[in-house]
Amino acid sequence: MSRWFPLVPVLAGALALFAATPVLAQRANMPVTVVELFTSQGCNQCPPADAFLLELVARQERENFIVLGFHVDYWDYLGWADTFATPATTARQRNYIRPLRMQSVYTPQMVVNGRFEAVASDRMAVEASFSGISSR
């Protein structure tokens, strides 16, 4: 028995990998949904959207989300400099104006898979986009 004892961890690991294989294969076949939140510390409507983003982070493993939060700097002129904002994240949001046929940028804004945008606090619209976008 002691001769086989060192193999126990190896066998247990192999068994765990074998058991996990269907789950990993199933996830590999799931479409990935990229969710981007454009937010700002200087935006008084952003805290609920930030909380929604945290809920999506908790769901990302189960639902195959990639969840990203970007702080923009265009509200800094109001006197509150967003400590997380960069010009690059503002430029990223502005790059969506033409493809998404937007008039301008705003916060809080969610962009799903680069093809759908909504006010981030409109949970129903954002949630509806997950099934609509991923099925295309």
Q: Supply the DSSP symbol for 2.
A: T
Which of 109, 70, 67 lies closest to 90, judged by CA?
70
Q: Which domains does the chain have, with CATH numbers?
A: 1-30 (no CATH), 31-134 (3.40.30.10)
Tell me, what's the pLDDT at 18?
Answer: 56
Exposure pattern of 35-69 as b/e (b: 16+ CB <10 Å)?
bbbbbbbbbeebeebbebbeebeeeeeebbbebeb
Tell me, what's the pLDDT at 5?
Answer: 47
Longest dimension (CA), the chain: 73
Question: pLDDT band for position 12 (50/70/90)?
Answer: low
Average pLDDT for the chain? 83
Q: Supply the DSSP symbol for 116.
A: E
pLDDT in tens, 99-121: 999 999 999 999 999 999 999 99
pLDDT in tens, 76-86: 988 889 999 99
3-state secondary structure 31-83: CCEEEEEEECCCCCCHHHHHHHHHHHHHHHHHHCEEEEEEECCCCHHHCCCCC
